[in-house]
Structure 1
Amino acid sequence: MAGEQIRIVLWAIPRTLSTAFTISMSHLDDVQVINHPFRSAHRFCSDGIISDHYDHSIDTRKQYYQHIADTDIDDANTLDFLENFSDLQLKENIYEAEYPGKKVIFAREMMYAIDPPFEQLPTGYRHVFLIRDPTKVIASFEKFVKRRCSFLNDSKQCNFRNHVVFKPEIFFKKAFDLYEHLKKNGIDCNPVVIDCSDLLNDPEGTLRLYCQQLGIRFTENLVRWWKRDSVFKEWRMSVMERKEQTLLAFYENAFHSEGFQSTNQSPTISSSQLSEDANYCIKVNLKYYQRLHDVRIRPEQEKVTQYESS
């Protein structure tokens, strides 16, 4: 229906370019971006202790929290203390809140932040999944974990296979379970799945089809953007999330980009380059990745639709 507000939630697996995708969506006309409130509540407890963060000791977690809490940011008073909210409160007060004057509500979430039976799913949303070759996901994630462990000076806890928060062993299984749940229960009969390889190799074709599927207007600004780090300040998100990014600059690569870059020259990653745990996680994720990959939107679909309608 013309003029109807469109609400979208992106379910991302870590290391799938979800920050770049969210920057892209920030260039939609009259959009409100919500930056993973479930993840913030999942990771940060209301008493100020990071929830089983990297399975470090309580003292280490408190130290890490204090580093974040002590970080100064200019706009702290404009942000939400989402870590103090329950999932139900986030669903009702953030996701299902009214956003007058906005044509599109775009929310980003991480798959590890929710669990079956998925009772916290907000109503009135279309659902999008962002996936990527598990070898690239796990290889990148292993580096990410080591980087954080280095910051915490706690190298003994860098084993991520059974990580309490992120659970890389079931990254794709949770995504597939949610995809099936949405379809079987009539919540979203046609969830949209995007593979990063399609997004990188044909960003315009993939984003045109994505917009077509969701009923939003495609513009060139979604492919090549001029606003990068500035859009970050327009997102509705947790004050702790903002401070953590200011402290550790996890989004810097995305914020210095000007669009989606082709991966034609991306080097092949061999199993010998990865740890035993990383190879195990890749193996158990592959079948669920393939099931989602099989139902992904493909840029050639958009070209066929254009041809049939001409």
Structure 2
Amino acid sequence: MGRVVVLWAAPRSVSTAFEKAFSRRPSTRIVHEPFTDCYYFSENARSRRYGRQPDRLGYGPAAAIDEIYGCAAPLVFVKDLAFQAEPYVPDEFLAAATNTFIVRRPRVVLRSLRGLKPDFTEEEFGFEPLARLLRHVVEDLSQEPVVVEGDRFREAPEVQLRRYCERIGVDFDSRMLSWPDGRIRAWAPHERESQAKWHRTLETSTRIIPPEPAGHVDIRPEEADVVRRAEKVYAELQGYML
């Protein structure tokens, strides 16, 4: 196995499109959200939102790490949501990997997430876990933070990809900017419906789609504190953004 680069994400931050771009890079293998089954289906799951999958009960952190380390390629690019991985990912893995992050303005995330997971928890909103993971990587593991802003990536994909590649020490390839098929991979039966819903826009695309004009997002009373805390995280990460 070669070098491992991880993109830790907040939900709805264009992380899968960023992952798709890296899938087009030669000599690169993609691992898509290996900690999902730990979080939702394992014996130590933190949520049963999607029901039970008996065949995934034994899927724990070791299985997720084995999935990553089992890839044979000069570069292994892993994308996962920080909230799914944070309770499970071992320090030994984090210390050996290049850890990077992607985030988007909380109100934009909120607008997108509501339609897919209207009863999301604060943990699933993802900003606090992302911030804790970044602080751990920076303060305890002495790594330099690399943070992508999702809409900046959509506005200028080549500029952002070139900057990111330079920061992580790999070559940019122009093939990263387009694709004939937007699917990430064939989905397993237990994930097919959910993943198709979450990635519908990407799966019908052939390139990075520019962002829509920013609009007003109403904040419901029960969301106010969650959004306020997320906006503090976003402000904290701005100084690290490409």
TM range (shorter): 0.7 to 0.9
Corresponding residue of 1:223: 177
Corresponding residue of 1:96: 69
Corresponding residue of 1:240: 190
Q: Kindly indicate whether structure 1 or structure 2 has the higher relative contact order, using CA contacts under 8 Å at least 6 residues apart.
A: 1
Corresponding residue of 2:143: 189
TM-score, normalization by structure 1: 0.69
Matched, 1:15 2:36: no
For 1:53, the aligned partner's letter is R
Structure 2: give runs of 5+ residues left out of the alignment.
Answer: none
For 1:266, the aligned partner's letter is P
C-alpha distance in structure 1 between counterparts of 2:97 and 2:56, whole Å: 20
Corresponding residue of 1:84: 58
Corresponding residue of 1:281: 226
Corresponding residue of 2:97: 125
Aligned length: 241
Q: Residue 241 of structure 2: SS of its match in structure 1?
A: coil
Give per-residue Cα distances to partners, 1:126-173, cap 9 Å, x unaligned: 011010000101121112114xxxxxxxxxxx4x345xxx442xx222
Q: Residue 198 of structure 2: SS of its match in structure 1?
A: coil
202, 212, 217: which one aligns with 1:270: 217
Corresponding residue of 1:200: 154
C-alpha distance in structure 1 between counterparts of 2:115 and 2:34, whole Å: 25
C-alpha distance in structure 2 between counterparts of 1:82 and 1:213, whole Å: 36
Taking the TM superposition and a 5 Å limit, the aligned residue runs for 1:32-43 are: 32-43=29-40
Q: Do 1:42 and 1:83's aligned partners in 2 also have CA atoms closer than 8 Å?
A: no
Relative to structure 1, the CA distance from residue 278 to residue 257 in structure 2 (aligned partners, 3 Å threshold; closer, same or farther) is farther
Corresponding residue of 1:138: 110
Q: Do 1:24 and 1:223's aligned partners in 2 also have CA atoms closer than 8 Å?
A: yes
C-alpha distance in structure 2 between counterparts of 1:36 and 1:13, whole Å: 12
Matched, 1:44 2:5: no
> CA offset at residue 292 of structure 1?
0.8
C-alpha distance in structure 2 between counterparts of 1:29 and 1:179, whole Å: 28
> CA offset at residue 42 of structure 1?
1.0
TM-score, normalization by structure 2: 0.86
Q: Do 2:27 and 2:74's aligned partners in 1 also have CA atoms closer than 8 Å?
A: yes
Structure 1: give runs of 5+ residues left out of the alignment.
Answer: 55-60, 70-80, 147-157, 298-310
C-alpha distance in structure 2 between counterparts of 1:121 and 1:15, whole Å: 28
Corresponding residue of 1:294: 239
C-alpha distance in structure 2 between counterparts of 1:255 and 1:144, whole Å: 16
C-alpha distance in structure 1 between counterparts of 2:9 and 2:114, whole Å: 17
Q: Do 1:134 and 1:282's aligned partners in 2 also have CA atoms closer than 8 Å?
A: yes
Relative to structure 1, the CA distance from residue 33 to residue 82 in structure 2 (aligned partners, 3 Å threshold; closer, same or farther) is farther
